[in-house]
Amino acid sequence: MEGKPITPAPNTSNLSASPESDQQVLQIWGREPLKGHVKISGAKNSALVVMAGALLCSDDCRLRNVPSLVDVALMAQILAAVGVKIEQNADVLEINASQLIDAQAPYELVSQLRASFFIIGPLLARLGFAKVPLPGGCAIGARPVELHVRGLQALGAEVHIDHGTVHAYVKGPNKRLKGAKIYLDYPSVGATETLMMAATLAEGETVIENAAQEPEVADLANFCRAMGAKIQGAGTNTIVISGVPKLHSVDYPIIPDRIEAGTFLVAGAITHSEISLSPIIPDHLTAVIAKLQTMGAKIIVESPDIMRIVPGRTHSATDIETLPYPGFPTDMQAQFMALLTLSEGDSIIKETVFENRLRHVAELNRMGADIRVKGNVAVVRGVARLSGAPVIATDLRASAALVLAGLAADGVTTISSLQHLDRGYEQLEVKLQKLGAKLQRVKEGEPANAEAPVEPVRSGLK
Ligand code: EPZ
């Protein structure tokens, strides 16, 4: 493996998003048309859980099409902390989990990346014990993990929480989990993934009912099956796993990121620009495409994995309710809200998945939007124009919404707290610059020139 070895950082506190992103801001000169083609990166929410899934295998694993994101770097550090050898070489991760150690992932890391909780299932399945700090909440909600814990207990694990750490272990001589029938009160993506991974090495059959059906769950199942796991029904609401004693090495490509793709489709719509994207799996975007078509855009699938958006001259308002897949994805709610601020008419957006995922409303209203919130419902009254303003990003998808609003607004928008954006979008501003957008990343406090830079300025990103 000639890649860059990733070893546990001695001082993990510096593992937040790239420190410089705290002091940088994104300046966007709005109302520039976009054109051309954008490459979609591997799916963040697949890469993170598949990296955890690699703990199930005691041989070499190779993951391809892995996006270069702060969250992926954090997950790599968490794996390294429990003894995994992991090297990154461009978009390829070489992982070897043959020598796991009895260690606890550091809280400083886990508190920054909720997805690190995904390691509990594979560690329990491999070692018969696991100690993982509770991930805690984040900007969009409390993010409890009781569905994960109850499911692991159903599989025969003793679980108790002590001083903010989840201690789980399997009793009995062979320390092996036992298959069980599990019903999830809510089709939680993370709980489905945790339990599916744990069940791959359990004794006997596990049935997960009311399972999450997101494409990333199916991608994880395909990854595990490629290692020799016996899984049926992933992508439906009932998943059946027959435990096997061991899983073997694999070379696996991650699916394209449907949320990044959806974000660029909205970028085309909000700037009234025709752009194309690839690779893309159209079936993963059915709800998003249906909404864009309802609003008046045309979506053309040019080949199995190339999609083009031809926006309408104007966009009509539409209502959105976020739901578990295949319903409208909560991860696209903020981006659509930005688009709907400029549509004709009133739109009602209901966020049913997370309890605090409307924090982008205040910032969009600073840009001239007309949005009122009552509980988990936002009423968006379309306005003719947005105006550029200094705004603060509050979470990952809210950051994307502010970028999209900035692309459409009159004048300059300055977005701070870029650490959120860098967690989930690979070089978003470079990709937008290549499409003709005028934006640049500068040090906080630098005055924005009134005019857009003549040539697209290279992003501050390395
Ligand atoms: C995954 O989070 C994604 N993250 C999220 O993407 C995505 O928004 C979410 O699924 C829903 O699609 C990753 O895959 C890394 P859930 P996850 O468990 O697994 C509640 C992004 O922007 N719940 O389906 O945490 C929970 O509080 C991120 O890329 C419990 O109550 O989502 C939430 O309200 C954000 N108890 C709802 O279920 C539990 O034990 C959905 O959560 C687990 C979840």
Mean predicted confidence (pLDDT) in 93-116: 90
Ligand 1 interacting residues, C-beta cut-off 6 A: 44-45, 48, 115, 141, 143-148, 186, 188-191, 212, 214, 216, 330-331, 353-354, 396-397, 424
Per residue in 229-272, pLDDT (tens digit) is 999 999 999 999 999 999 999 999 999 999 999 999 999 999 99
Residue 155: name the closest of 212, 206, 217 by CA.
206
The residue whose CA is least distant from atom 35 of ligand 1 is 331
Mean predicted confidence (pLDDT) in 187-208: 98
Ligand 1: atom nearest CA of 140 is: 35
Question: What pLDDT does 21 receive?
Answer: 66
Phi-psi region of 36 (alpha: psi -120 to 50; beta: other; left: phi over 0): left
Query: In this structure, which amino acid lies at residue 123?
Result: L
Strand partners, 38: 277
Q: Which residues fall within 8 angstroms of residue 226, CB to CB, at 6 or more apart?
A: 250, 252
Q: Is the pLDDT of residue 459 over 50?
A: no
Residues 106 and 249: their CA atoms lie apart, in Å, by 27
Strand partners, 207: 181, 240
The CATH 3.65.10.10 portion of the chain extends over 11-40+256-443, 44-253
Q: Is the pLDDT of residue 395 over 60?
A: yes
Question: What pLDDT does 11 receive?
Answer: 39
The residue whose CA is least distant from atom 3 of ligand 1 is 45
Q: Residue 380: what are its φ and ψ, rounded to 5°?
A: -105, 115
Q: What is the CATH number that goes with domain 44-253?
A: 3.65.10.10
The residue whose CA is least distant from atom 21 of ligand 1 is 331
For residue 309, report the distance from its CA to the centre of ligand 1, in Å: 29
The Cα angle at residue 316 between residues 312 and 321, in degrees rounded to 5: 120
Per residue in 319-362, pLDDT (tens digit) is 999 999 999 999 999 999 999 999 999 999 999 999 999 999 99
Q: Is the pLDDT of residue 460 over 70?
A: no
Residues 372 and 375: their CA atoms lie apart, in Å, by 10
Per residue in 61-101, pLDDT (tens digit) is 999 999 999 999 999 999 999 999 999 999 999 999 999 98
Looking at 146-150, 171-175, 386-390, 414-418, which range is the least confident one?
171-175
Question: What pLDDT does 299 receive?
Answer: 98
Q: Is the pLDDT of residue 295 over 60?
A: yes
The confidence band for 10, taking pLDDT boundaries of 50, 70 and 90, is very low
Q: Is the pLDDT of residue 454 over 80?
A: no
Ligand 1: atom nearest CA of 330 is: 8
For residue 411, report the distance from its CA to the centre of ligand 1, in Å: 36
For residue 143, report the distance from its CA to the centre of ligand 1, in Å: 7
Q: What percent of the chain has pLDDT over 70?
A: 92
The confidence band for 363, taking pLDDT boundaries of 50, 70 and 90, is very high
Ligand 1: atom nearest CA of 395 is: 22
> How many helices (DSSP H) and strands (DSSP E) are in the chain?
15, 24
For residue 190, report the distance from its CA to the centre of ligand 1, in Å: 6
The confidence band for 140, taking pLDDT boundaries of 50, 70 and 90, is confident
- Residue among 117, 189, 351, 428 to mutate when testing ligand 1 (max atoms within 8 A of CB): 189
Q: Is there a contact between 408 and 271 (Cβ–Cβ < 8 Å)?
A: yes
Ligand 1: atom nearest CA of 115 is: 15
Look up residue 217 and give its two tokens. 């769950």
For residue 188, report the distance from its CA to the centre of ligand 1, in Å: 6
The confidence band for 300, taking pLDDT boundaries of 50, 70 and 90, is very high
Q: Is the pLDDT of residue 135 over 90?
A: no
Residues 94 and 1: their CA atoms lie apart, in Å, by 7
- Rounded to two decimals, the pTM is 0.94
Q: Is the pLDDT of residue 12 over 70?
A: no
The residue whose CA is least distant from atom 10 of ligand 1 is 189
Q: Is the pLDDT of residue 193 over 50?
A: yes
CATH topology of domain 11-40+256-443: UDP-n-acetylglucosamine1-carboxyvinyl-transferase; Chain (3.65.10)
Q: Count of CB atoms within 10 A of residue 437's CB?
A: 24
Question: What pLDDT does 129 receive?
Answer: 95
Per residue in 18-63, pLDDT (tens digit) is 556 668 999 999 999 999 999 999 999 999 999 999 999 999 999 9
Looking at 68-72, 193-197, 273-277, 443-447, which range is the least confident one?
443-447
How far is CA 59 from its chain centroid? 27
The residue whose CA is least distant from atom 27 of ligand 1 is 143
Q: Is there a contact between 71 and 48 (Cβ–Cβ < 8 Å)?
A: yes
Look up residue 190 and give its two tokens. 């993370």
Residues 425 and 70: their CA atoms lie apart, in Å, by 9
Ligand 1: atom nearest CA of 193 is: 19
For the chain, what is the mean pLDDT?
Answer: 92
Question: E strands along 74-149, which residues?
Answer: 85-89, 92-96, 129-133
For residue 255, report the distance from its CA to the centre of ligand 1, in Å: 19
Question: What pLDDT does 19 receive?
Answer: 59
Q: Is the pLDDT of residue 200 over 70?
A: yes
Look up 138 and say whether it is catalytic. Answer: yes
